[in-house]
Structure formats: structure tokens, C-alpha cells
């Protein structure tokens, strides 16, 4: 297959989308920055856990880079000069796709931290990545120091700490409603109308994304301030997880609460229980035929109306969500119906809110003068931003789902026209090829198959969590099938270190789950051990006594949601899914961020 190189084509330097050699075949990939050369899967893996599809990459790349650049400039810490190198080279500056996988630019975030008053490189590593020890040291560049940018950071930090409301969030939701009303009906629109609407929607989606980026960036500020006060003035570095637990109104936790109620509905009804006991295969059909399931069906339909956009890899339009494949949600209901009543999220939230109030009152009583004033401001703004970060993310995901419905209908029609059994063929075509593909989809069969094979080969390997300057070729990455043999097995009594996600202690049998749509035997009394989490995982938190995640930090999804649901959680427990055998008895200390192995399963 022909391999192309990147060439800057747009006025802002965004490179042309093309295929480059990955080591296992040509696929989509960006150029790394020469000055800001350290990239990480941290946080990026929560948004895009899987290999990018070529269409998604080529359709969204320019808009993504523009949104990231604009959001970074808002604070005043990043300058035009910082972006000039990337513009000249066509490099991915804040985020990029390298050999099919999404990465965030850690170097850029480190430079921003070094310019911000009171922040450090270590703060960035711990807040956004967790596994700071894996990151290469930061090498200072003469242009990193910028007194004007530091002065602007003071204004940005001060304005962030003074926040008491963010009216733009409600305005964005209103804009989404107006935009949605103007979209064509996927069932009746022509192919050209579906494609035109998909393309025309991209600038709007990334305006919403820009709001999310700004709010996310700001959310790190009060957390950093609180963490410093708790460590320096109160000598309690674990206190922040209590101060930000049970804040309420976390959008990404709402689906879990709704699924919990559906699970209770099933658990209380013998007829529904019998239908679920027969297994999840064919469950939707059995529910549709059973008159006794009518009430559940109505409640489940209302759930899908609210949360159709959520699911595994929900930012990727090629992938199913609960709305396009309700069986994904029914699988979660099946786990939650077996959960212990004590895991009721509403009861837990009240307990957490009380604990949070006591922790706040105690901290305020011990703080005096400027520390007390700053603490109060940071707590108020931090609570607002914790809620807002998840709200803006939800707004973007809901809008993406509307585009998913349009593009999936187009993809289904074109696959039928070509006689293909793969309705996702469309996503293996680059944006500039789509018009040709629409005219003669059968002519792209060989190219689509080659790209599908390459994506499959990339998915079979583990991309480096961090790389500096140049990502190694994919044929040097470890195969996922070989990863278990590459790590040292745990021993009884061993304590695995991590980062505190949500306070509390719990014991249970470890259930290693790598796919939220296949939770296996996870049930009451178990500890969920996962590679990373996104909102599709959240309902499983309620099935478990505790949660352990390979990667993550205090601003990662697992930490935020576990604090809202009151589930003891340890994140950044390196290789937990590989080192902890399924069925081991473990104790999770969410306050210390550790996992202790108490007993190994019999072999």
C-alpha cells in the first residue's frame, strides 16, 4: 500500500491527514513535536481507549488541534511563540494520534506548570498521569521561562479561585438543543445530506470540546491549591480525597445511579429475576415477549432516552453505545441486580456528604489567616469545577451521539451497497476519500481490508504509556497476549502502591475485568480490577466493594466517580490487572492508595 507523509496545508499549520508506516502496516499517525517531545497515554486513554479509526482521525484532527490551541491560550500561560514550532512542522502540540493511539503532550503541560505561580512539574505528573515515576525527567528549554506568562498565570489562578458559577455550561446545553433540532432525520435523509451534516457538525462539536478543555484545565488549579494547603499547613496529604468526595451532581455518575435503580427493580421482581437468570444472551428478546416485564421495559426505555450516548469508547462514532446496542446496558443491569443493598449510591452519597462536611469543618477550624481564605475559595471553585468538568464532557458526548446516528446510518447504507458485512467500513476511509467511496464503495474493498488488518494488528499490541521524542515502531510493542508473562507475580502479603482515589477500606475477591461489556463473575463482595475506566465502567463500581485501576490520578475518571459513589478506590496501581490473579483475596485502602494481597487463588 502507498505510504504518504504529512504536509502542512492549512493556515494554522495542521498537517494533511494521510497514512504513515507504523511497523505493522500503514495507518494514521501524527508527527511529534521536537521541543515538546514527551507524550503520555495518561488521561487520553480514558477518552480514546482503542485504536482510532481513520475516518474519525481525518474528520476531527484539524478541529481537535484548533480547540486545544485555543483552550490553552485562554489562560495566557501558553504563548503564540510556543505554538509557532508546531505550526511550522505540522506537529501535534497538545494531543496527537501516534500509530493509531491517542496521546496527550506531557511536555506542554509541564511547561505550563513551570510558568504558573506555585505549580511544579511534579504536580502535573501526579494530577494528570499518576505514575510520575515512569515519566522521563523534564529538560528545561530556554523558552520555557516566561515572566509575562507567569504574570498572566496569577490572574488566571486568581480568577479561577473566585469562580462561583459557570453560566456557559447551561448555554452550551441550550445550543445543543437548537443544533439538534436542525439535523436531518437519519431515516429519511439522503446519503449526501447525512455526509454533509456529519462534516458540518464538526466545528460545533469542537466549540463544545473547547469549553470542556478550559473547564478541565481550570479544575486542576483548586485541587493543586487544596493539596498544597493540606500537605504543608495540615500535614495530611490524603485529606483532599475526603474534601472532594460526595460533592453531588456529577454527570458521569448519573447513569450508574439510574442503572442501580433498574437493578433493584429486577431484584425485587421474581418474574424479572427468572428472565435474567436465564443469561444475558437473548435477554432483550425474552423481555420483549414477557408481559410481566412491561414495567421494566418502560423504565429501561426512559433510561435509554436519557443515557443513549453513553457506553464503551463513547467518543468514537464507529462504536456502539447503550442507545445503539441496549444489550450493553442490560449486561450492567444484570450485574447490579446482584449487588448488595448497602451499595445504594444515594445512601452512600449522603454518608459521603456528611463526611465531607466534617472534613471541611475540621480543616477550616485549623486554618488561619490567608490559608483559610484561600482554602475556602479553592474548595468552592474546586467543587464547582469538579461538577462542571463532568457536565461539559457529557454535553460533548451527547452531541457526538447525534453525529453517530447520522454517520452510522450512512455507513450501513454504503456497506449494503458494496455487499459488505461490515457496517463500519466507512470508518476505514479518510475524510477526503469519502465522496469517492460514496460513489463506488466496492472500489475501496481492498484498501479498507488492509487498514482493518492494520488496526487489528495495532489493537493486539500495547502502546508505550509514555514516549520521548519518537514513539517506537509498533512491531516492537509487546503483544497483549504476552503481557501477563512479562510482569512479576504478586506474593501473599505484598502491598502494591498506587494513588488515593476515594477513602475507605474494603476486602474482597479480585475480579479482573478488561471490558465493561463483559464483567464476568463480578458480584457482591468483589473488588473490581480494571486497566482504566470511562463512564461505561461506572455502573460496575456499584457491583464492587472497591475499585483498583492500573493508571490514573486524582483528576481521572475512576477517582472522580469513585468519590461520588463512595467506593474505596486506588488508581495508578501499575500493572494491577496483570499482577493480581483473578480470584485473589485483596484489601484496598483507598485513603492510602494501596492494595494488599491477602491470599492467592488455588491453582
Please return the burial class of 601, using the count of CB atoms within 10 Å of its CB with bins 0-12, 13-18 and 19+. Answer: exposed
Residue 336 in domain: yes
Band (14; pLDDT cuts 50, 70, 90): very low
Residue 73 predicted with pLDDT over 80: yes
Report the pLDDT value the prediction gives residue 6, as an integer from 0 to 100. 37
The pLDDT-based confidence of 189 (bands split at 50, 70, 90) is very high
- The percentage of the chain sitting over the pLDDT mark of 90, rounded to a whole number, equals 65
Are residues 169 and 92 part of one domain?
A: yes
Reported as a single tens digit per residue, the pLDDT across 428-455 is 999 999 999 999 999 999 999 999 999 9
CA 445 → CA 100, 194, 195, 415, 440, distances in Å?
21, 22, 20, 10, 10
What's the DSSP call for residue 9?
A: -
How many structural domains does the chain have?
3
Express each pLDDT in 195-246 by its tens digit.
999 999 999 999 999 999 999 989 989 988 999 999 999 999 888 888 988 8
Kindly report the number of other CB atoms within 10 A of residue 84's CB atom.
11
Q: Is residue 67 part of a domain?
A: yes
Q: Which domain holds residue 284?
A: 251-347
Confirm whether 473 is domain-assigned.
Answer: no
Residues 62 and 197 in one domain: yes
Which residue in this structure is represented by grid cell 486513554? 45
Q: What is the pLDDT of residue 17?
A: 67
In which band, very low, low, confident or very high, does the pLDDT at 5 lie, cut at 50, 70 and 90?
very low
Weakest mean pLDDT among 27-36, 132-141, 303-312 = 132-141
Structural domain contains residue 203: yes
This prediction has a pTM of: 0.90
Instruction: Please report which confidence band the pLDDT of residue 166 belongs to, taking 50, 70 and 90 as the band edges.
Output: very high
Asked whether residue 90 is assigned to any structural domain, the reply reads yes
User: Do 166 and 131 have their domain in common?
Assistant: yes
In a domain, 568, yes or no: yes
CATH of the domain at 579: 3.50.30.10
42 and 164 both lie in a single domain = yes
Shared-domain flag, residues 490 and 393:
no
pLDDT class of 426 with cuts at 50, 70, 90: very high
The answer on 177 and 61 residing in a single domain is: yes
In a domain, 277, yes or no: yes
Cα distance between residue 196 and residue 193, in whole Å: 5
Distance of alpha carbon 202 from alpha carbon 200, whole angstroms: 6
Query: Within this chain, do residues 269 and 413 fall inside the same structural domain, yes or no?
Result: no
Q: Confirm whether 13 is domain-assigned.
A: no
Amino acid at each position: 500500500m502507498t505510504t504518504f507523509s504529512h504536509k502542512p496545508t492549512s493556515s494554522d499549520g495542521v498537517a494533511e491527514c494521510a497514512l504513515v508506516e507504523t511497523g505493522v502496516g500503514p495507518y494514521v499517525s501524527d508527527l511529534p513535536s521536537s521541543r515538546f517531545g514527551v507524550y503520555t497515554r495518561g488521561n487520553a486513554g480514558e477518552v480514546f481507549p482503542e485504536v482510532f479509526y481513520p475516518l474519525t482521525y481525518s474528520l476531527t484532527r484539524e478541529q481537535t488541534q484548533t480547540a486545544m490551541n485555543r483552550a490553552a491560550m485562554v489562560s495566557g500561560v501558553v504563548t503564540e511563540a510556543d505554538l509557532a514550532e508546531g505550526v511550522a512542522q505540522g506537529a501535534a502540540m497538545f494531543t496527537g494520534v501516534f500509530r493509531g493511539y491517542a496521546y496527550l503532550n506531557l511536555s506542554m503541560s509541564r511547561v505550563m506548570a513551570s510558568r504558573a505561580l506555585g505549580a511544579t512539574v511534579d504536580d502535573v505528573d501526579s494530577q494528570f498521569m499518576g505514575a510520575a515515576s515512569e515519566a522521563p525527567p523534564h529538560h528545561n528549554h530556554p523558552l520555557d521561562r516566561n515572566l509575562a506568562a507567569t504574570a498572566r498565570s496569577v490572574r488566571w489562578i486568581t480568577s479561577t479561585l473566585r469562580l462561583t458559577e459557570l453560566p456557559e455550561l447551561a448555554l452550551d446545553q441550550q445550543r445543543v438543543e437548537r443544533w439538534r433540532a436542525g439535523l436531518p432525520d437519519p431515516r429519511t435523509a439522503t446519503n449526501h445530506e447525512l455526509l454533509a451534516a456529519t462534516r458540518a457538525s464538526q466545528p460545533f462539536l469542537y466549540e463544545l470540546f473547547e469549553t470542556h478543555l478550559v473547564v478541565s484545565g481550570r479544575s486542576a488549579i483548586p485541587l493543586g491549591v487544596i493539596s498544597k494547603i493540606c500537605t504543608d499547613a495540615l500535614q495530611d496529604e490524603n485529606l483532599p480525597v475526603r474534601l472532594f468526595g460526595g460533592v453531588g451532581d456529577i454527570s458521569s455518575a448519573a447513569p450508574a445511579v439510574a442503572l442501580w435503580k433498574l437493578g433493584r427493580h429486577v431484584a425485587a421482581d421474581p418474574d424479572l429475576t427468572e428472565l435474567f437468570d436465564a443469561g444475558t444472551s437473548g435477554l432483550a428478546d425474552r423481555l420483549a415477549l414477557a408481559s410481566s416485564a412491561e414495567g421494566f421495559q418502560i423504565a429501561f426505555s426512559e433510561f435509554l432516552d436519557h443515557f443513549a450516548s453513553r457506553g464503551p469508547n463513547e467518543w468514537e462514532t464507529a462504536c456502539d453505545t447503550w442507545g445503539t446496542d441496549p444489550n450493553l446496558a442490560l449486561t450492567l443491569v444484570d450485574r447490579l441486580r446482584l449487588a448488595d443493598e448497602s451499595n445504594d449510591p444515594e445512601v452512600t452519597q449522603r454518608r459521603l456528604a456528611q463526611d465531607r462536611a466534617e472534613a471541611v469543618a475540621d480543616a477550616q477550624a485549623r486554618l488561619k489567616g490567608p490559608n483559610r481564605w484561600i482554602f475556602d475559595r479553592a474548595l468552592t471553585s474546586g467543587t464547582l469545577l469538579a461538577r462542571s468538568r463532568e457536565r461539559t464532557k457529557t454535553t460533548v458526548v451527547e452531541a457526538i451521539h447525534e453525529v453517530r446516528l447520522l454517520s452510522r446510518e450512512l455507513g450501513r447504507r454504503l456497506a449494503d451497497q458494496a455487499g459488505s458485512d461490515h457496517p463500519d467500513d466507512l470508518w476505514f476511509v479518510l475524510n477526503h476519500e469519502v465522496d469517492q467511496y460514496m460513489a463506488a464503495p466496492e472500489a475501496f474493498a481492498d484498501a479498507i481490508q488492509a487498514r482493518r488488518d492494520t488496526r487489528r494488528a495495532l489493537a493486539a499490541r500495547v502502546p508505550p504509556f509514555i514516549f520521548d521524542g519518537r514513539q517506537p515502531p509498533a512491531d516492537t510493542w509487546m503483544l497483549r497476549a504476552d503481557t501477563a508473562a512479562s510482569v512479576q507475580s504478586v506474593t501473599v502479603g505484598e502491598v502494591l502502591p498506587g494513588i488515593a482515589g476515594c477513602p475507605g477500606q474494603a476486602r474482597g475477591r479480585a475480579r479482573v475485568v478488561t471490558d465493561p461489556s463483559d464483567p464476568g463473575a463480578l458480584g457482591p463482595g468483589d473488588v473490581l480490577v480494571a486497566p482504566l475506566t470511562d463512564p461505561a465502567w461506572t455502573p460496575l463500581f456499584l457491583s464492587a466493594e472497591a475499585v483498583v485501576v492500573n493508571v490514573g490520578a486524582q483528576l481521572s475518571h475512576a477517582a472522580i466517580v469513585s468519590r461520588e459513589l463512595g467506593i474505596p478506590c486506588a488508581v495508578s496501581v501499575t500493572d494491577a490487572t496483570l499482577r493480581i490473579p483473578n480470584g485473589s483475596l485483596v484489601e484496598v485502602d483507598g485513603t492510602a492508595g494501596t492494595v494488599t494481597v491477602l491470599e492467592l487463588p488455588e491453582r
